Structure 1
Amino acid sequence: MTTRVSRSVLIGIQRISAAAEPREACGLLFGSDDAITGWQAVENVAEEPERRFEIEPAALFAALRVERAGGPRIAGYWHSHPSGDPTPSVTDARMAEPDGRLWLIVAGEAVRLWRAGEAGTVHGRFTAVAFEDV
């Protein structure tokens, strides 16, 4: 299955990520398993934002409340790797819940999409997901 990702989502995330350097930028993805149609930038509250990300909890809880009330579904998360590799790190694997949600990672112009699960090919947690920008 190929997941469709709105070109405007990709452009917005890449711009925010570039502006945040050398810190990692992060946020939420909205849509479904087969189509990412929206995104939200969220404050990175990690102790070392140059090396990792942590989504600000209040923003995540607010998005979950909106979702439960019939709003946009949280399909996953996005973050940047300013050092240049859009592959999940060991730290990403430790943080990721095996919930099947999508993880979009941006490293400059490079973008990769991943699914977090019980068993994956990257650090035992992530599986690459094919996507096309639309």
Structure 2
Amino acid sequence: NFYQNFPTFSQVAQELLQWLKNLELQKYFWISHGCDSKTLAKEFEREKLKLPTNYIWIDSGKLVRTFLNTPYWGVDSLCSRFDIIRINPHTVLGDIWTQWILIQKVINISTKKNPIQVFVEFSNQNSISVRQYK
């Protein structure tokens, strides 16, 4: 079965939440691609998973316009601009997972000496991939 090996939403969400908890973040952003924030929030609610309180929803277009102050030119360009590792970004399954193809997370980690941004991305076939950059 083609879909057999894909993790459930609950598995992915729980893994992400645990990972975030371990980081002890002060603030972070959820960047959605192919899935709006309301849909994602409803999925978390349906799975009875509580989101951390210190999160902000931003879609990928707003990310580019707000933080880079340029017109939106696409997630692919955004990733290549920042040399971010991507995982199977073009996998399309044609079902509910299409909404979940790639949800990108940009996380701001504030440490006392060294602020680091961590870009976390999900695809439906893989766990977390992280690249840290200053």
Give 1 or 2: higher helix fraction: 2
- Normalization by structure 1: what TM-score? 0.27
For the pair shown, which has the larger CA radius of gyration, 1 or 2?
A: 2
